[in-house]
């Protein structure tokens, strides 16, 4: 099982092309072992499905494993992460919640392990907007494992989604020693801290954290860290806090170049598109990235179970093209491309959390603000009203309203 854990962890990093030779060799080795253990056989099948881009099929196998043994923590963790990548919030939550009674009643479940289950549940509850329950689960998790970064992360999300910005900042400062040392999440937690600061409009503090913290993490070429860096710079750009020629973009671009054609997740491709923001300089890379993405999708189009290709087709490619159009100041094109994703409620298909995906709605709004065409203003007004209903005291929302008012009065 050690080799299963190793390969599964590598595949779920999402940094390499799914047909990468290293994956193929390791999977071939596992299959040649000809294990007679039913659990191991199913785990290998799940990894094979994921490697083939059949992500939903992989989650079905992990769920089958959990029916056999609810305490299969490997299947639980891989399924939990996979649902996150698929943007399936309900399943992020239910993958843990439906086994909760067993975890609570089984005397053989170590308390430490139960705590980690609660941390996973807390994040799932947050993603389905059950914030009070999520907070209770996270607090219980931290009482058991003080340094459970995933549970701390759930609380950070809850404060963000509730618009409790100052409370979120104070909590992160108080718990910094418990999350800053978690290599897998530290960069992402700094990103969250910057979101709080962005709501308060504190540009200088954000850039200081970016330069001293986030910029260091991206040297590892881990997609999750690169996504954080790309998204933060893009949000700063949308807010007018940095320009396209800011030198911070270049380091992120150079790191993405190493894995630009992996296409393991549309979510990654969208963030790649954010940083190649100047067609005069990056024309060849911009065009080749979209072409590569379309070629990959078309090559898998006959496989109806190929989740990865379907997501690229339905939301990934339109979002990437919308970002490119925005960077080219083609705002009406951006609006049209995003209308077909955001208004029907398909954005979640690209994966990630609610907080992460918000960048695409922000892009949509800024495209409407920048377009001379005012026919989409009622859509922007409706979205802004919903944002204000959720976060009435948000500084960012107040700035968006001001931008909208300026756009409506602009001749």
Q: Which residues are CB-contacts of 252 (< 8 A; sequence separation ≥ 6)?
A: 218, 226, 229, 230, 233, 275
pLDDT at 100: 86
**Mean pLDDT score, 282-311:** 91
Of 333, 343, 326, 322, residue with least CA distance to 373: 333
**Coil, helix or strand for 371?**
coil
The DSSP output letter for 394 is -
What is the value of pTM for the model shown? 0.95
Residue ranges of the chain that CATH labels 1.25.40.10: 91-182
DSSP state letters, 277-309: --HHHHHHHHHHHHHHHHHHHHHTTT-TT-HHH
Q: Which residues are CB-contacts of 127 (< 8 A; sequence separation ≥ 6)?
A: 89, 92, 93, 157, 353, 354
What Cα–Cα distance (Å) separates residue 381 from each residue in 13, 322, 341?
A: 38, 20, 18
pLDDT at 47: 95
Is residue 31 pLDDT above 90, yes or no?
A: no
Per-residue pLDDT reduced to its tens digit, 163-218: 999 999 999 999 999 999 998 999 999 999 999 999 999 999 999 999 999 999 99
Is residue 35 pLDDT above 80, yes or no?
A: no
Give the chain's mean pLDDT: 95
Neighbours of 260 (CB within 10 A): 18
Helix H segments across 200-278?
A: 203-209, 215-217, 223-238, 248-256, 266-275
The long-range contacts involving 144-149, CB below 8 angstroms and separated by at least 24 positions, are: 144/111, 144/112, 144/114, 144/115, 144/118, 145/112, 145/115, 145/116, 145/119, 146/178, 147/178, 147/179, 147/181, 147/182, 148/115, 148/116, 148/119, 149/178, 149/179, 149/182, 149/184, 149/185, 149/189
Is residue 34 pLDDT above 80, yes or no?
A: no
**Mean pLDDT score, 227-249:** 98
Per-residue pLDDT reduced to its tens digit, 63-81: 999 999 988 999 999 999 9
Burial class of residue 289, CB neighbours in 10 A (0-12, 13-18, 19+): buried
Is residue 411 pLDDT above 70, yes or no?
A: no
Is residue 17 pLDDT above 80, yes or no?
A: no
Q: How far is residue 222's CA from residue 255's CA, in Å, rounded to a whole number?
A: 9
- What backbone phi and psi angles, to 5 degrees, belong to 167? -60, -40
**Coil, helix or strand for 96?**
helix
The long-range contacts involving 201-209, CB below 8 angstroms and separated by at least 24 positions, are: 201/395, 201/396, 201/399, 203/236, 203/241, 206/232, 206/236, 206/241, 207/236, 207/241, 207/242
pLDDT at 293: 96
The sign of the torsion formed by the CA atoms of 84, 85, 88, 89 equals positive
**Coil, helix or strand for 344?**
coil
Q: Which residues are CB-contacts of 216 (< 8 A; sequence separation ≥ 6)?
A: none
Of 164, 159, 149, 248, residue with least CA distance to 208: 248
Per-residue pLDDT reduced to its tens digit, 153-163: 999 999 999 99
Phi-psi category of residue 29: left, alpha or beta, with phi > 0 → left and psi -120 to 50 → alpha: alpha
**Coil, helix or strand for 12?**
coil
Q: How far is residue 275's CA from residue 248's CA, in Å, rounded to a whole number?
A: 10
Per-residue pLDDT reduced to its tens digit, 343-382: 999 999 999 999 999 999 999 999 999 999 999 999 999 9
pLDDT at 27: 85
Per-residue pLDDT reduced to its tens digit, 293-307: 999 999 987 776 799
- Domain covering 91-182: architecture: Alpha Horseshoe (1.25)
Neighbours of 7 (CB within 10 A): 23
What Cα–Cα distance (Å) separates residue 128 from each residue in 138, 161, 389?
A: 15, 11, 17
């Amino acid at each position: 099982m050690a080799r299963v854990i190793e390969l599964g962890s590598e595949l779920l990093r999402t940094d390499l092309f799914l047909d990468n030779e290293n994956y193929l060799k390791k999977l071939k080795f596992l299959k040649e072992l000809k294990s007679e253990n039913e659990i191991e056989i199913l785990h290998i099948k799940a990894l094979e499905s994921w490697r083939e881009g059949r992500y939903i099929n992989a989650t079905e196998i992990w769920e089958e494993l959990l029916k056999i043994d609810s305490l299969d923590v490997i299947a639980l963790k891989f399924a939990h992460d996979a649902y996150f990548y698929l943007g399936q919030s309900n399943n992020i939550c239910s993958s843990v919640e439906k086994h909760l009674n067993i975890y609570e009643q089984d005397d053989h479940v170590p308390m430490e392990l139960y705590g980690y289950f609660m941390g996973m549940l807390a994040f799932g509850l947050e993603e389905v907007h059950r914030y009070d329950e999520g907070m209770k689960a996270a607090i219980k998790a931290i009482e058991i494992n003080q340094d459970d970064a995933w549970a701390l992360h759930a609380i950070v999300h809850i404060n963000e989604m509730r618009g409790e910005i100052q409370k979120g900042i104070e909590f992160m400062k108080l718990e910094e020693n418990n999350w800053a040392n978690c290599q897998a999440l530290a960069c992402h937690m700094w990103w969250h801290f910057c979101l709080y600061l962005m709501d308060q409009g504190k540009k200088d503090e954000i850039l200081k954290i970016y330069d001293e913290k986030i910029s260091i993490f991206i040297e590892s070429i881990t997609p999750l860290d690169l996504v954080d860096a790309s998204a933060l710079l893009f949000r700063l750009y949308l807010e007018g806090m940095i320009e396209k020629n800011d030198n911070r973009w270049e380091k992120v671009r150079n790191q993405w170049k190493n894995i630009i054609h992996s296409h393991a997740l549309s979510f990654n491709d969208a963030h790649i598109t954010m940083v190649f923001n100047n067609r005069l300089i990056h024309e060849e890379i911009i065009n080749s990235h979209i072409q590569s993405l379309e070629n990959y999708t078309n090559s898998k189009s006959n496989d109806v179970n190929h989740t990865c290709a379907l997501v690229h087709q339905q939301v990934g490619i339109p979002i990437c093209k919308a970002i490119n159009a925005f960077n080219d100041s083609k705002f009406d094109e951006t609006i049209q491309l995003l209308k077909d994703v955001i208004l029907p409620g398909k954005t979640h298909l690209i994966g990630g959390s609610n907080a992460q995906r918000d960048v695409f709605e922000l892009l949509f709004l800024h495209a409407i603000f920048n377009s001379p065409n005012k026919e989409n203003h009622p859509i922007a007004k409706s979205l802004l009203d919903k944002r204000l209903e959720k976060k009435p005291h948000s500084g960012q929302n107040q700035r968006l309203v001001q931008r909208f008012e300026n756009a409506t009065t602009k001749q």
